[in-house]
Structure 1
Amino acid sequence: MYLKTLHLRHFRNYSDQKVEFTAAKTILVGNNAQGKSNLLEAVELLATLRSHRMARDRDLIQDEQPASQINATLERDSGISDLSLTLRRNGRRTVAFNGESLRRQMDFLGVLNAVQFSSLDLELVRGSPEIRRNWLDTLLVQLEPVYAHILHQYNQVLRQRNAYLKKIQDTEQKPQQSQLAIWDAQLVTTGTRVIRRRDRALSRLAPLAAAWHASISGSTEVLQINYTPNVPLQQNQQEEIQQAFLTKLQQRAAAEMYRGTTLVGPHRDEVELTINQTPARQYGSQGQQRTLVLALKLAELQLIEEVVQESPLLLLDDVLAELDPYRQNQLLDTIQDRFQTLITTTHLSSFDSQWLNSSQILYVQKGEISTSDF
């Protein structure tokens, strides 16, 4: 797939900016806080309807503007598509495909596929389980667009069940078992769908990431990715997961009443990353942790490509500075012209002349983009 044009209106620090992409690799050059990352964020929103920075819609709209719009023209094997995403300060976002408004946002997903790799991704190793869950969920949305709806359903039930538990805690009234049983049944049904898909995705991603990691590390280190769901998972069978889920809910019922929140379910899952059987966050240097994240990102690209049968876009947000020359070369050699790639950087010295000659170079300053330096 190939992103031909991108048009940003009142998005972040862009008032009205159209970009035409003329090469497989585009390097966006500029000082920090000029808008380079904002452009990549716009592409990511078109792909996943999520922001890597976990921003709220109103944070993405220019000050004193009621709405912002992202438009794109995308070329795929099936033909050319026009994508449009409108974000509103006081209202719901809307999406359109080839000029036609879509009632369900889920139908917008899967048209544009992209993998984002930024310096924030180092938190995948060092950060909280929530960061790894968000990373996995974002990947899953691209592999199975219906997952966005499944996850939304689960989070909705979780919020309502938590509100009920909090009400019981605050008023100290006795819980109505029939009411709680309804929430339990819905939590188990929706949560099991989340667990099964996360397990399935990681079982496909893990061997790809391990192979990339072995390649980058010269086979001196072994990467393992283990999905450790909050609900015991013997095998990926719906009935067995549901039964285990229900049993654990019953076991934690008293603790949930006391704390006024749901303690069981995929919102407490963990993705364990280990190198040579040692937890990655405790293991070695920052360089080794960067190798792990690079392996994860290359595995994401490969898995999406296998599933959708087309190469996704690669968005590299200021990561070359985070990688040593060897890892930079590993990444750049892998990309070549196989993936359309948008790269942000503060200077061009990281790239050899061959890369520069085959790339489109755009300069970014204060929300304006030009083909020549300002």
Structure 2
Amino acid sequence: MRLRSLTLRDFRNIPLARLEFTGRQQFFLGANGQGKTNLLEAAGFLTALRSFRAADNRVLIRHGQAAAAIVCELEHERRGDTKITVKIAPTGKELWCDQERVARLADYVGQFPTVVFSSQDLQLVRGTPTGRRRWLDLTLAAMDGAYLRALQNYTRAVAERNALLKRGGSEAELSAFEQTIAPAAADLVQRRTEGVAALAAEVAAAYSRVADGAEPATIGYEPNSAEATAAGWLERLAKGRARDRQFRSTLSGPHRDEVALSVQGRAAREFASEGQQRSLVLALRLAQAAWFHARSGVRPVLLADDVLGELDPARRRRFWSAVDGEAQVLATGTSLPAADLGAWEVFAVKDGEFGEDLGAGA
């Protein structure tokens, strides 16, 4: 997939911008806080109509405006020339694909993959299980509409059950929401098990390339409970009601799963060096891109947000050699990329405005 133009209106700090891309590599150059990441955020919205930075879509709308809009024109392996239009309002989103309204997100998911490489990715290793679960959920949901539906059903039902626990709901009320939670939980555990198993091979291969085969790295799935059936989850939830009432929260379920990352057989969070951790998060994103391509047949657009400059020269060369040489890359930074990374279309960014193409080079 190649992004050929991107038009934004009232998105974050960008009042109006239209950018046209002709090459495979685009670089957005400017000081911090000017709008470079906002542009990548808009491009990343293509995948599942979700921001990689914010859970609340209202923050995507420029201050004082009623709505924001994103329009993408792209070349697509399966669909040919395609135009995507997204309107973001405080009350929700509207989506058009080639002028045809898309009513269900599940019908759209998986068709337009993007992968974000961010300086914040280190938190996937160093941060809490919540961040790793979110990465896994976004990865699997981007390619699997059934996973997205199960996740949405589960999340809503758990939120309602927790609200009941806080206000002392009856056994019958709790049981009603457990009827929704149980099959969704069983489905999520199965799909996460299969998804992580598929991703593990890609992570190991990508880490070997980025780290020059210095040591092995792995990703594993550690479910909070490995109940395989809806009936098993119903029984577990019923048995846990007394404890859940005490803590006023649902204490068992996929919302408490862990995605384990390790280097040389030891937990990466506690034992990996900073260099190993950086290599591991790059491997996670490279694996994500490879898995998207394998699942969909569509080559993802890669969005590199101020990450290449943080790598030492050797790791940067190995990372670049591991990137799909046919993939489009949109990157940001405060200084021009090194010459060994090839030719770029360079755009200046200041106060939400994008200047003339400064020409290829580095």
Q: Same fold (TM over 0.5)?
A: yes
Quick one: distance in 2 between partners of 1:195 and 1:354? 41
Q: Distance in 2 between matches of 1:332 and 1:99?
A: 37
Look up the match of 2:214. Answer: 220
Q: 2:339 aligns with which of 352, 364, 371?
A: 352
- The reply on whether 1:325 has 2:313 as its aligned counterpart is yes
CA distance in structure 2 between the partners assigned to 1:58 and 1:182 by the alignment: 32
For residue 305 of structure 1, the aligned residue among 286, 293, 315 is 293
CA distance in 2, matches of 1:317, 1:221: 27
Cα deviation, residue 120, structure 1: 0.9
Counterparts of 2:324 and 2:141 in 1: how far apart (Å)?
A: 26
Match of 2:189 among 195, 209, 213: 195
Contact 1:232 1:244 in 2 (8 A): no
Identity %: 35
Deviations along 1:8-51, whole A, 9 cap, x unmatched?
00001111100111101111111111111000000111212111
What does residue 282 of structure 2 align with?
A: 294
Instruction: Verify the 8 A CA contact 1:7 1:72 in the aligned structure 2.
Output: yes
Q: Which residue of 1 aligns with 2:261?
A: 273
Could you tell me which of 173, 179, 183 is aligned with 1:179? Answer: 173
Distance 1:183 1:55, change over 3 A: closer
**Residue pair 1:114, 1:313 contacting (<8 A) in 2 also:** yes
* Distance in 2 separating the partners of 1:213 and 1:367: 36
Following superposition, the deviation at residue 362 of structure 1 comes to 1.2
User: Does the 8 Å contact 1:221/1:276 carry over to 2?
Assistant: yes
In structure 1, C-alpha distance between the alignment counterparts of 2:325 and 2:24, rounded to whole Å? 6
CA distance in 2, matches of 1:354, 1:182: 57
Contact map agreement 1:44 1:51 (CA 8 A) in 2: yes
Secondary structure in structure 2 of the residue aligned to 1:110: coil
Could you tell which deviates more after superposition, 34-43 or 363-372?
Answer: 363-372
Deviation beyond 4 Å, 4+ runs, structure 1: none
CA distance, structure 1, for counterparts of residue 328 and residue 210 of structure 2: 22
Q: SS at the partner of 1:93? A: strand
Counterpart CA distance in 1 for 2:235 and 2:172 is 17
Partners of 2:332 and 2:214 in 1: CA distance: 31
Structure 1 residue 243, shift from structure 2 partner? 4.1
Structure 2: distance between partners of 1:183 and 1:28: 48
Match of 2:33 in 1: 33
Aligned pairs for 1:1-374 (under 5 A) are: 1-77=1-77, 78-89=79-90, 91-168=91-168, 176-232=170-226, 240-335=228-323, 337-348=325-336, 350-352=337-339, 355-356=342-343, 359-372=344-357
CA-based RMSD: 1.7
- Mapped to 2, the partners of 1:29 and 1:351 lie a distance apart of 13
Inter-partner Cα distance in structure 2 for 1:217 and 1:52: 26
Q: What CA distance in whole angstroms lies between the structure 1 residues aligned with 2:265 and 2:341?
A: 40
* Cα displacement (A) at 1:307: 0.8
For residues 60 and 180 of structure 1, the distance between their equivalents in structure 2, rounded to whole angstroms, comes to 36
Structure 2 contact 224–257 (Cα < 8 Å) conserved: yes
Range with bigger deviation, 14-23 or 145-154 = 145-154
* Structure 1 gaps, min length 5: 169-174, 234-239
Say if 1:231 and 1:248, in contact at 8 Å, map to a contact too. Answer: no
**Which runs of 5 or more structure 2 residues have no equivalent in the other structure?**
none
Cα contact 1:27–1:362 (8 A) shared by 2 = yes
CA distance in 1, matches of 2:357, 2:87: 30
One-letter identity of the residue aligned with 2:349: V
* Displacement after TM superposition at 1:146 (Å): 3.4
Tell me, what secondary structure is at the counterpart of 1:143?
coil
Tell me if the contact between 2:306 and 2:332 (Cα under 8 Å) persists in the aligned partners: yes
Three-state SS of the structure 2 residue aligned to 1:371 is strand
Alpha-carbon distance in structure 1 between the residues aligned to 2:312 and 2:240: 47
Which residue type is aligned with residue 318 of structure 1?
D
Q: Is the 8 A contact 2:209 2:318 kept in 1?
A: no
Provide the C-alpha distance between the structure 2 equivalents of 1:347 and 1:180, rounded to a whole number of angstroms: 56
d(CA) in 1 for partners of 2:210, 2:341: 22
| Residue 353 of structure 1, CA deviation | 5.5
Q: TM-score, normalised by structure 1?
A: 0.91
Name the SS of the counterpart of 2:75 in structure 1: strand
The whole-number CA distance in structure 2 between the counterparts of 1:353 and 1:298 is: 20
Q: Count residues with an aligned counterpart.
A: 357
Q: Report SS of the residue matched to 1:362.
A: strand
Q: Do 1:245 and 1:264's aligned partners in 2 also have CA atoms closer than 8 Å?
A: no
Deviations 1:315-345 (A, max 9, x none): 0000012211111112222336411110101
**Secondary structure, in 3 states, of the residue corresponding to 1:106?**
helix
Distance apart, 1:224 and its partner CA: 1.8
In the TM superposition, residue 65 of structure 1 has moved relative to its aligned partner by: 0.6
